[in-house]
Amino acid sequence: MNSSKCLIAASEGEGFGLPLIEASRAGIDVIARDLPVFREVADDDTVFFGGSNSPSLKEALLLYHQSSESMNTKRSPQNKVRTWAQSVDDLKQVIFNNGWYN
C-alpha cells in the first residue's frame, strides 16, 4: 500500500469498512461507494459515488483527479477510527445509562 495514491472501494456490501480505515491510516486517498458503513469510518476527504452505475463512479474519479491535493503528495494519516477500548467504554455507557445492568 506504500506506493498507492488512492483506494477505490467499490464494494456493494461491506461489513466493517476495514480497507478504508487502513487506507486512512496510511495517508491514502479514498474513493468509496456511498454505503452507510463507509460513511461511518471514512475521512472527511473521502469522495463518494452512488449506486452501481458507472457514471457515478466516473464523476467521482473526475472529481478526485481534478483535486490538486490528491494529485500531489500523500496526505497526513488520519485517525478517525475509535479503538476497541474506546468502543467498549461507549458500550458500557449505553448499558449503564439505559438501566440495562442491575
Residue 81 clears pLDDT 70, i.e. is over it = no
Contact present, 21 and 81 (Cβ < 8 Å): yes
What is the pTM assigned to this prediction? 0.65
What pLDDT score does 84 carry? 78
Could you tell me the pLDDT band of residue 32, with boundaries at 50, 70 and 90?
Answer: very high
pLDDT for res 86: 81
Strand 6-9 relative to strand 47-49: parallel, antiparallel, unpaired?
A: unpaired
Span 5-25, pLDDT tens digits: 899 999 888 778 889 988 988
